[in-house]
Structure 1
């Protein structure tokens, strides 16, 4: 079964078997996972998380799904990564889907291209589970999703304000949500927000944006990148948005290294292809090996799962993208 984000949200309480969500929208991923976790907590369903960093990790996932602890009747497993099961693990997946009706496997992956979605893994999920596309391709879809976020904050926007907000953040829903939070806090006495309030609240803080940070990192300008990064922190930019921005650039660079002829298919704008090509000429592929782990550490620090300093780790990631290293060792 195929579902979009809004359809999936309505089916959270009946989720079972296997769900695979993929896309490039961190807001949609975050909201859907939060809804699932709230449901699991309310039903006292045990939750476990696995990072899929190699094909072998899938065996651990299916071993866990097939063995409950003494203290739980149901288990929900989150598997995060971009590595599909091999033939042996795919067999385990099919057995799980056929015989295990109690537990739930939620696989969280980045956006998949058309060819990848034709693979046996995704075909199996579509036929026997739920495939969720975390995308909002059209302005009306993005506005509908953000209207729900605005409703949570107790505010409404007129159509001109919606158009300005969507254009201001291009297609970045997480950034747009953070702006809704900012304008709600700034004009806490207003329920109806117009373009004047949005402009007054956001324009004076738009000296630098995450897009400026991306450009500076891709150009290898560490001093400017640090300056922009510190500005974003000082003006209250959400760490989750900064992490999303950095991880997007790292992922695109690694994908372009593997597929140098497919820049446009990977979603890189034609006018920006040269930035990525120059960055790849400057960066050593050996650097890529540590990026996934660094991003996981930042994510854990932001969520309070680890005691590491998220801002310091993010600064390391900024330096990595510039091709520099802040610390030895």
Structure 2
């Protein structure tokens, strides 16, 4: 059977199935689904947990050997098979078929895989797993769903977030659910009283308390023309070992937004409508407006080309210079106008 991620907890409370396949490429939601299955298995007496890591040398006969092995430490066992990016191939498909034909009464199989494509989900082995147990597909949260996801998650945690505060988090943590969850947990510690509404000022203070030099401080410094501060922040991020792809993502996101605003200005279009369309909170509008007026569409397109160069350097397509050096040039170009 197919179970949606949001329905998993209720289905687990009804009964446990002999096997589960969790697949997806959103780390936070995949981890939460796995943890939910583990917890419910534990509650039902599956006290022992065994892990099988699939790699190129993995022996697929070990899956059914494990299924037929009596545990010395517990009556029931949760066996986790971690596929990752691996594909079972013919040996794995055969092992899954055999497992489903001879289900052990004292074991539950939990399979975790990266996102499986449509053809794989229609394969014989996947269909057999679907018939025998459950497949939980984890879908990423798109940009339009992000505010609702944050609001629902905050409400579940007992956080009273103002609408603008939700928009701020959505805008700054666009697509990064793990970072969003961490920010909400931090806000919960700082504001335990659920009757008090958390404002945008509270969110900004929480972010700045975490680090004087984070990626969002960098984009804010760029937009407000603070070249020296921008250079200092990106140097600090580099020394701290912040993931270069995250810095590239944040800067390229701001450049694309500025490009839209700059195009609108060149056509005589009012910016407030675009701010509303992109859900830009009031506090960021002045900085974005000023930056959009400083940069022509042609210059911003050039900066996006530079971002592409950084991506190529990260992937090893280009060599000879550090991606951080190019990011620094991009940062200063935005700040100086």
What's the TM-score once normalised by structure 2's chain length? 0.59
1:37-116 to structure 2, matched below 5 A, reads 37-45=38-46, 46-54=48-56, 56-80=58-82, 81-100=84-103, 102=105, 103-116=107-120
Equivalent residue for 1:167, pick from 161, 167, 171: 171
Contact 2:150 2:166 in 1 (8 A): no
User: Structure 1 residue 17: deviation in Å?
Assistant: 2.5
SS of residue paired to 1:78? strand
Change (3 A) 1:21 1:144: farther
User: Structure 1 residue 87: deviation in Å?
Assistant: 1.8
Equivalent residue for 2:183, pick from 166, 179, 184: 179
Aligned to 2:257: none
Q: Which of structures 1 and 2 has the bigger CA Rg?
A: 2
Aligned to 2:12: 12
User: Structure 1 residue 78: deviation in Å?
Assistant: 1.3
1:315-326 to structure 2, matched below 5 A, reads none
1:232-243 to structure 2, matched below 5 A, reads none
Contact 2:160 2:198 in 1 (8 A): yes
Aligned to 1:209: 215
Change (3 A) 1:89 1:245: farther
Q: Deviations over 1:298-328 (max 9, x none)?
A: xxxxxxxxxxxxxxxxxxxxxxxxxxxxxxx
In the alignment, the residues of structure 1 paired with residue 160 and residue 29 of structure 2 have an alpha-carbon distance, to the nearest angstrom, of 20
Aligned length, in residue pairs: 242
Change (3 A) 1:9 1:148: farther
Q: Deviations over 1:225-245 (max 9, x none)?
A: 994266488xxxxxxxx7x97
Contact 2:22 2:112 in 1 (8 A): yes
In the alignment, the residues of structure 1 paired with residue 212 and residue 175 of structure 2 have an alpha-carbon distance, to the nearest angstrom, of 16
Deviates more, 1:129-138 or 1:114-123: 114-123
Contact 1:55 1:84 in 2 (8 A): no
Change (3 A) 1:225 1:20: farther
In the alignment, the residues of structure 2 paired with residue 148 and residue 176 of structure 1 have an alpha-carbon distance, to the nearest angstrom, of 12
Equivalent residue for 1:198, pick from 203, 209, 217: 203
SS of residue paired to 2:316? helix
In the alignment, the residues of structure 2 paired with residue 232 and residue 150 of structure 1 have an alpha-carbon distance, to the nearest angstrom, of 30
In the alignment, the residues of structure 1 paired with residue 62 and residue 238 of structure 2 have an alpha-carbon distance, to the nearest angstrom, of 38
Change (3 A) 1:185 1:72: closer
Change (3 A) 1:82 1:17: farther
Equivalent residue for 2:126, pick from 117, 122, 125: 122
Root-mean-square deviation (Å): 3.7
In the alignment, the residues of structure 2 paired with residue 55 and residue 116 of structure 1 have an alpha-carbon distance, to the nearest angstrom, of 21
Show structure 1 runs of 5+ residues with no match. 213-223, 234-241, 247-269, 285-329
Aligned to 2:237: 228
User: Structure 1 residue 38: deviation in Å?
Assistant: 1.9
Aligned to 1:21: 22
In the alignment, the residues of structure 2 paired with residue 141 and residue 98 of structure 1 have an alpha-carbon distance, to the nearest angstrom, of 41
In the alignment, the residues of structure 1 paired with residue 187 and residue 166 of structure 2 have an alpha-carbon distance, to the nearest angstrom, of 13
In the alignment, the residues of structure 2 paired with residue 180 and residue 230 of structure 1 have an alpha-carbon distance, to the nearest angstrom, of 27
In the alignment, the residues of structure 2 paired with residue 209 and residue 57 of structure 1 have an alpha-carbon distance, to the nearest angstrom, of 44
